[in-house]
Amino acid sequence: MKFLKNIAVPIGAVMLLGISGCGNRGGDKTTVYTGQPVSGGTLIYATDREPTCLDPHSQGDMPQVFIAQQFLDSLVSMDEQGKIGPWLAKSWDVSKDGLVYTFHLRQDVHFTDGEHFNAQALKANLDHMVDPKTQSSTAASYIAQYVKTDIIDEYTAAVHLSEAYAPFLEVLAQGFLGIQSPKALQRTREENCESPVGSGPFKVKRWDRQSQITLERNPDYAWAPPTAKHQGPAYLDQIIWKIIPEPSVRFASVQAGDVDVIDALPPESHSQARQNPDISLLIKDRPGNPTKGDFNTTRVPFNDIRVCEAFVRASNVEGALKSIFFGEFKRAGGPLSPVTRFYSDQFEHAQDYNPKRAQQLLDEAGWNQRDKAGYRVKNGQRLRVQVPVAERVSNAERALWEQIQASTKREGFEVNLEPMDTSSITKCCITGWDYDIRLGYWNTNTPDVLRIIFSSAFISRPGAIYHTNGTGFSHAEFDKTINSALQTQDTDLRRQLYLKAQKIISENYLQITTMPQSSRLAIYKTAKGVRLEPSLTVPYFYDAWVEK
């Protein structure tokens, strides 16, 4: 594939934002916190997707971290401004070369199975994340630099990295790297998926598959992070975590007060929810790489950058978002969601709809003939694009891709949307390369997401089952730039490097981006104190209570 090289970035062009702002509409809140907290009661929460495993170290999909945030604690915390603070670690020291992080740990923490949190527990967790048997696609990717943990004393641990890794503390603040009981981690993967054990404000009591998960209060909890609104045990006695895939049923449930909070508020219900005095909305974009389709550049047709750009220019994403999502979702045109640190807005129009440009590019690439059905052909081969669609993809997102299918057809692409179950998706697209476009997203609180999904090091890694680089992009200048960003804590230099990285990705048309991922909660009047935790913008019920 033809890739752009030697892209210079003028210092004066650096226009970047920190972790602030969101995708909220006017009147929507970022927290719902009113009245005097009361203890007791059950909060009923409903979401659209059931986790495949309750252990967030294993695999690593968003439904896992949503629920893990309720029963796991993290080593460090992150506040709304992106500042790292203490949590299970009281403090830490970093060696001058950035290769050793020495953590000084709290001495009063224990897991809900009675095990104590100490240096040995930290070591067991980091080792578990990178162990191939854990089958981690997220946590292991975040700490690929991890080498070992030395036990200095019972509450002091020295964590060694193979190379400097500036975002290390940022990723440690995420629920995907939450700390679990070392005794529980010794069980089989299947057992730990069913009932992981943490030190958090709640604990897993029961998982009724395809129905609900019951969490109950941890009465001993006394080590909340400084970002919390109170200390001590949670106010709620328990949380009933319901799985309601059908959007209309989920919304009807919160309208009627049968559930207290729903996530994945359907776009067609936003207006009705805003008009309901009994419902509040809590909406905010999540950081990372937006909802997208990765182009497989290792095979025809996307091994030609002109075809990649042509597909982007032929896709009327803006029109589809307006018609399907009722104007509730804005377009994400760059490789980073706007709330991601070091995001630049100068790439937002890099993927604008331009069918004339698409026609020109396809002609130049040799796809300048059409068959009787109107599709472009080259050397007798039709311009065919295979897009596997997982069964978990929402109806709205499926409709979005159907509109992309229709608009690209006008310019000569035959787009085949192929429904697949989870195991088939894993085989074709996560462990294999049998696709032309791989759908997905990547939520994380660091711009290092660009390295994880575009660096050549993540096309194939020793011991890794999954390839997080789904494009096959291999670009020496990009790798040098993104790796340099890991080596420095200098904020201005990191900004420059991440700007250059965004520029390279945007100009190589490696994916078609659609919209930022977001948390979209509808909250009935019975629920108070519902928040979004700062690192990944997911629901957080430690400070919540109910008035019924």
User: Does 502 lie in the same domain as 359?
Assistant: yes
Query: Range with the lowest mean pLDDT among 31-40, 209-218, 464-473?
Result: 31-40
* Averaged pLDDT of the chain: 92
Tens digit of pLDDT for each residue in 278-308?
999 999 999 999 999 999 999 999 999 999 9
Is residue 11 over pLDDT 70? no
Q: What is the CATH number of the domain that holds 536?
A: 3.40.190.10
Q: Look at residue 192 and give its three-state secondary structure.
A: helix
User: Does 508 lie in the same domain as 453?
Assistant: yes
In angstroms, the CA 29 to CA 446 distance is 24
Q: Token pair for residue 378?
A: 């080259």
Sheet of 381-382, strand order: 369-370, 376-378, 381-382
Q: Which of 283, 51, 236, 87 is nearest to 174 (CA)?
A: 87
Q: What is the CATH number of the domain that holds 122?
A: 3.90.76.10
Q: Token pair for residue 532?
A: 């979004």
The CA distances from residue 158 to 149, 179, 237, in Å, are: 6, 16, 37
User: Does 89 lie in the same domain as 167?
Assistant: yes
Judge whether 15 lies within some domain: no
Strands 414-420 and 288-295: unpaired
User: Does 276 lie in the same domain as 155?
Assistant: no
| CB neighbour class for 187 (10 Å; exposed up to 12, middle 13-18, buried from 19) | middle
Is 194 within 8 Å of 54 (Cβ atoms)? Answer: yes
User: Does 456 lie in the same domain as 380?
Assistant: yes
Judge whether 365 lies within some domain: yes
In angstroms, the CA 427 to CA 178 distance is 28
Q: Phi, psi (5° rounding) for residue 363?
A: -60, -45
Q: Token pair for residue 189?
A: 């993967």
State the pTM of this model.
0.89
Query: pLDDT above 70 covers what percent of the chain?
Result: 94
Which has the higher per-residue pLDDT, 14 or 69? 69
pLDDT of residue 242: 98
DSSP for 133-163 reads GG-BSSHHHHTTTEEEEEEEETTEEEEEESS
Tens digit of pLDDT for each residue in 23-65?
343 345 545 556 899 999 999 999 999 999 999 999 999 999 9
User: Does 500 lie in the same domain as 523?
Assistant: no
In angstroms, the CA 475 to CA 463 distance is 23
Tens digit of pLDDT for each residue in 131-159?
999 999 899 989 999 999 999 999 999 99
Q: What is the CATH number of the domain that holds 423?
A: 3.10.105.10
Judge whether 85 lies within some domain: yes
User: Does 236 lie in the same domain as 317?
Assistant: no
Count CB neighbours of 153 within 10 A.
10
User: Does 362 lie in the same domain as 254?
Assistant: no
DSSP for 253-284 reads HHHTTSSSEESS--GGGHHHHHH-TTEEEEEE
pLDDT of residue 28: 54
Judge whether 5 lies within some domain: no
Strand partners, 377: 369, 382
User: Does 175 lie in the same domain as 89?
Assistant: yes
**Which range of residues forms the domain containing residue 115?**
74-180
Judge whether 351 lies within some domain: yes
The CA distances from residue 247 to 221, 243, 252, 529, in Å, are: 35, 11, 9, 24
Is 180 within 8 Å of 204 (Cβ atoms)? Answer: no
User: Does 273 lie in the same domain as 130?
Assistant: no
The stretch 306-329 carries a mean pLDDT of 96
pLDDT of residue 395: 87
Is 256 within 8 Å of 4 (Cβ atoms)? Answer: no
Query: For the chain, how many structural domains are there in total?
Result: 3
Query: pLDDT above 90 covers what percent of the chain?
Result: 89
Which has the higher per-residue pLDDT, 236 or 392? 236
Judge whether 211 lies within some domain: yes
pLDDT of residue 32: 58
Is residue 21 over pLDDT 90? no
pLDDT of residue 532: 97
Sign of the four-CA dihedral 256, 261, 267, 271 = positive
Judge whether 249 lies within some domain: yes
Tens digit of pLDDT for each residue in 427-440?
999 999 999 999 99
Tens digit of pLDDT for each residue in 472-507?
999 999 999 999 999 998 999 999 999 999 999 999
